[in-house]
Structures are given as C-alpha cells and as structure tokens.
Amino acid sequence: MPILALQDVSKDYLSDGQRVQALHGLSLNVERGEMVALVGRSGCGKSTLLNLAGAMDFPTTGSVLLDGVSTSSLKDEELTRLRREKVGFIFQSFQLLHTLTVFENVELPLLLAGKTNVREAACERLAWVELEGLGERYPHQLSGGQMQRAAIARALIHSPIIVLADEPTGNLDTTTGNVILELLLRLTHEKNIATVVATHSLEAAALADTVVRLRDGRIEEITRR
C-alpha cells in the first residue's frame, strides 16, 4: 500500500470571484523509502499538491489517501492527529521560531502532541542531521544550512511516515542546498520514510528516486530511477 495516494485529484480555488483550477485529475502514489521531486514552473501546482498531501487542504474532487486513510473523511481533530503522527513539514524559509532554542524548536511537534520527556528524541534527531552540540543555540545563531537541518530534525521528531518539503533549498546556496538534499535522501532511505520535495532545483531532481514534472496543474511526466 502506498504511503500517499492521490487518486484523480482536482483542486479549484476562487480568486477574486473567478474559479481557478490548480490541479486537474492528478493521480500519484508515493511509497516508503522513496524520495519524490515535484518540479515545474511557479504556479504549476507543486505547493497545492503538498498541501493536499499533508492534509492541510482538501481536494475539490478525487481523494487523497494518507497511509490508507482518506483525508476528506476526517474531522478537524482527526486531521490534527494525522499530521501530528504521520506528516513532517519542511519549508523554504526554515520557519523556526526565533524565540525558542534549537532543542525547543525540534521538540515542538512532540510537545504540541502532549508528549513529555522529549529531550532524548530531540538529541537523537539532531544527531541524525549532524547538529549535535547546537541544541541550546537560538536560530539566529545558526547558518542557513544549520537552520534547515534543524528544520529537518523537527520534521522527523515524531517519526512521520512522510516528509513534505516545499523548496527546502530555496534559501540556501548551491553547495549547502546539495548537502541538505543528500541528507534528506539519506534519511529517506535509512528511516524508510517517504519524502516529497517541491523544487525548482535541478540538483534535487537529479537526486530524487522519482521526478514528477507538473505543468498547469497536470502531471506532464513521471520519471522513476
């Protein structure tokens, strides 16, 4: 069973009273241990697809199955629980809370889920992203690459089955960006999770197990390696 299954998904928005179709009848399966790169021009529907995959939004038609569960059938509390347990998010601008230390940022999803004694897990995840010893620092004391590593550690803290990354290298230089992508790929394989990366980066596309090329809300091409 795929971790993520999009079945004939369409998504419409109303913009200034006009109906805008962001995704058209799109179907895609993502398996454990697979890193999928979503590529395409701005506005092609990459972010919309990620939002649907992360149960942050719902399809207009079709269905999104996350670990076999249709997101459209869930109530708000169930969706929150689904995200808490199964989805990790990574953002282009890191989105770390500057009022919290690295440890506290990483621990946040577990704390929001009401877990206690989370420091050990945070230390472990920081070790995964090679940030040992930086846990007490604040985000502004880190480099861009370090901040994105911390964001990856946070995305993995609750052992999700899928990580959704929206332009994770968009704010980084090429070298640092490549390091981050390699780290994501390594963790995807080592931890047997699924990772979906929306990107403009050719390097990301070159590293990914599967490349999905989107154009005007439709899948133009799927390339598997």
Q: Which residues bind another protein (CB under 8 A)?
A: 47, 51, 54, 56-57, 76-77, 80, 83-84, 89, 91-93, 95, 97-100, 104, 108-109, 111-114, 154, 158, 166
Whether the Cβ atoms of residue 198 and residue 38 lie closer than 8 Å to each other = yes
d(Cα 51, Cα 20) in Å, to the nearest integer? 16
Among the listed residues 127, 151, 126, the one whose alpha carbon sits nearest the alpha carbon of residue 139: 151
Alpha helices by DSSP H, listed for the chain, are 46-53, 76-86, 102-112, 119-128, 144-156, 174-190, 202-207
Least distance in angstroms from the C-beta of 74 to another protein: 13
Our CB check for another protein shows the closer of 34 and 57 to be 57
Other C-beta atoms within 10 Å of 20: how many?
12
d(Cα 75, Cα 110) in Å, to the nearest integer? 21
Our CB check for another protein shows the closer of 136 and 182 to be 136
Least distance in angstroms from the C-beta of 42 to another protein: 12
**Strand 61-66, strand 69-70: pairing:** antiparallel
Least distance in angstroms from the C-beta of 87 to another protein: 8
Least distance in angstroms from the C-beta of 93 to another protein: 5
**Strand 4-15, strand 18-30: pairing:** antiparallel
Least distance in angstroms from the C-beta of 109 to another protein: 5
Our CB check for another protein shows the closer of 88 and 209 to be 88
User: Which residue is associated with the tokens 């998904």?
Assistant: 9
Our CB check for another protein shows the closer of 168 and 209 to be 168
Our CB check for another protein shows the closer of 54 and 217 to be 54
Least distance in angstroms from the C-beta of 116 to another protein: 9
d(Cα 34, Cα 110) in Å, to the nearest integer? 25
Our CB check for another protein shows the closer of 34 and 167 to be 167
